[in-house]
Amino acid sequence: RKEVEQDPGPFNVPEGATVAFNCTYSNSASQSFFWYRQDCRKEPKLLMSVYSSGNEDGRFTAQLNRASQYISLLIRDSKLSDSATYLCVVNRGGSYIPTFGRGTSLIVHP
């Protein structure tokens, strides 16, 4: 099993739709979890951290399920500008080493 796995997509959704991505991880000792957004030919940018209690930032909601070892990202009321690749990041437990998933591509169309 890969350390961090994501469905590459693409997820092709209309404006206004709700879309959800999952990301599974293999290291049960992992302590830190993040979602990043990467636009074409640009550097990844932090979208949000993922906390055990779940967290919300506007239209974006992140959840962590430690028992099943996955994190999720929910985007409500999708905008055209949400089109990007979403990267899941899991830090190896007790180390400085982040592991990136290969990303999930989202295309929001009119």
Partner 1 sequence: SQTIHQWPATLVQPVGSPLSLECTVEGTSNPNLYWYRQAAGRGLQLLFYSVGIGQISSEVPQNLSASRPQDRQFILSSKKLLLSDSGFYLCAWAGPQETQYFGPGTRLLVL
Helix, strand or coil, per DSSP, at residue 26:
coil
Which position among 27, 60, 102, 107 is part of the footprint of partner 1 (CB under 8 A)? 102
Q: Which of 90, 97, 65, 73 is nearest to 9 (CA)?
A: 73
Give whichever of 84 and 101 is closer to partner 1, judged by the CB atom.
101
Residue 9 interacting with partner 1 (CB under 8 A): no
Q: How many angstroms separate the most distant Cα atoms in the chain?
A: 44
Residue 11 interacting with partner 1 (CB under 8 A): no
Contacts with partner 1, 16-55, as mask; x by CB under 8 A = ---------------xx-x-x----xxxxxx--x------
Strand partners, 108: 13
